[in-house]
């Protein structure tokens, strides 16, 4: 049975009366350390939030952390879920709309991705400018809830233009190399074949991963402004002799985490000083 997001939202709001996060964060594989910088944290296990399934993947802690990053009130999912874990696509509606109901206006996502570009290697960051959805499902299939958004909606600016400009500016200030590219979203859990990667490059893909797209669809539908940054953890199949494994993903995710944390913290602090 689909859980209405008001149920987990009310639990969160009752847990921290008067707290209203402005920015939601979802942290990908090997990138959970950003949540360690949240001051005076209140931590809620997904197990205590109706509609939030247990995260079963290494590198995803499965808890919601609420507090302040800099001076900005945030709600941070320290670990995400994926369809390949057996979660229905509709589950993403509950989680993302919960961010909306507790007060978030912006959603920033991170993920671990494979690079389809030889000039962007493991340990680097890529700002996602657009995506190609190769998932077999969409969280918004089924009856539409007009409370959150229209039946049909455009995806022209799913990745908010002004937020991307802010990421570029902060990356330049912090001397962080930030590539940009189109993300290919696949269901997983297998990594891609050489032939698939050749096809993805022809389609215009520049990074590939097993998350993010379902979250972006629901977030954009309900009016959240969205930005996403990929930590490049490997070259995609056929572009390197190195074996692709999840352990490899976690290793290079941690190497990229320092710059990812600096970049996102800088962007959030700048949004507190000067909203865009």
Task: Give the pLDDT confidence score for residue 87 in this predicted structure.
Answer: 87
Q: Is 84 a catalytic residue?
A: yes
Contact at 8 Å (CB) between 180 and 126?
A: yes
Task: Give the pLDDT confidence score for residue 240 in this predicted structure.
Answer: 72
| 59 pLDDT above the threshold of 60 | no
- Convert the pLDDT of each residue in 225-267 to its tens digit: 999 999 999 998 888 766 666 676 666 667 788 999 999 999 9
- Give DSSP secondary structure letters for 207-266: EEESSSHHHHHHHHHTT-EEEEEEEEEEEPTTS-SSPP-HHHHHHHHHHHHHHHHHHHHH
Gap between the Cα atoms of 215 and 95, Å rounded: 9
* Pairing status of strand 72-78 against strand 178-185: unpaired
- When pLDDT is cut at 50, 70 and 90, the band that residue 94 belongs to is very high
Gap between the Cα atoms of 124 and 119, Å rounded: 10
Q: Is 68 a catalytic residue?
A: no
Task: Give the pLDDT confidence score for residue 254 in this predicted structure.
Answer: 72
Active-site residue, from 33, 68, 85, 251: 85
Beta carbons within 8 Å of 30's beta carbon, 6+ residues apart: 59, 112, 231, 233, 249, 250, 251, 252, 253, 254, 256, 257
- Convert the pLDDT of each residue in 174-225 to its tens digit: 999 999 999 999 999 999 999 999 999 999 999 999 999 999 999 999 999 9
**Domain definitions of the chain by residue range:** 6-273
Active-site residue, from 95, 210, 256, 260: 210
Residue 61 token pair? 């802690």
Fold type of domain 6-273 = Rossmann fold (3.40.50)
Q: Is 190 a catalytic residue?
A: no
| 29 pLDDT above the threshold of 80 | no
Active-site residue, from 32, 115, 234, 270: 234
**Model's pTM, two decimal places?**
0.94
Q: Is 85 a catalytic residue?
A: yes
Active-site residue, from 9, 55, 82, 261: 82
Q: Is 131 a catalytic residue?
A: no
Q: Is 60 a catalytic residue?
A: yes
Q: Is 29 a catalytic residue?
A: yes
| 153 pLDDT above the threshold of 80 | yes
């Amino acid at each position: 049975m689909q859980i209405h997001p008001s149920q987990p939202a009310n639990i969160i709001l009752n847990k921290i009366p008067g707290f209203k996060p402005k920015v939601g964060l979802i942290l990908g594989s090997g990138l959970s350390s950003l949540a360690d910088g949240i001051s005076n944290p209140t931590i809620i296990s997904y197990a205590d939030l109706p509609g939030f399934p247990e995260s079963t993947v290494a590198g995803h802690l499965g808890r919601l952390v609420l507090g302040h990053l800099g001076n900005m009130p945030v709600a941070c999912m320290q670990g995400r879920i994926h369809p390949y874990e057996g979660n229905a696509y509709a589950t993403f509606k509950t989680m993302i709309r919960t961010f909306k109901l507790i007060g978030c206006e912006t959603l920033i996502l991170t993920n671990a991705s494979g690079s389809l570009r030889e000039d962007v290697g493991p340990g680097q960051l890529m700002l996602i400018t657009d995506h190609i959805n190769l998932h077999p499902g969409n969280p918004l299939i089924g009856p539409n809830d007009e409370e959150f958004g229209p039946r049909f909606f455009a995806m022209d600016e799913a990745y908010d233009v002004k937020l991307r400009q802010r990421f570029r500016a902060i990356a330049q200030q912090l001397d962080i190399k930030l590539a940009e590219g189109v993300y290919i979203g696949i269901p997983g859990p297998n990594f891609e074949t050489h032939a698939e990667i050749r096809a993805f490059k022809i389609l215009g893909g520049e990074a590939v991963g097993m998350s993010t797209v379902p979250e972006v669809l629901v977030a954009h539908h309900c009016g959240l402004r969205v930005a996403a940054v990929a930590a490049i953890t490997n070259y995609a199949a056929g572009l390197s002799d190195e074996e692709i494994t999840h352990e490899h993903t976690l290793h290079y995710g941690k190497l990229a985490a320092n710059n990812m944390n600096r970049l996102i913290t800088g962007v959030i602090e700048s949004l507190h000083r000067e909203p865009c």
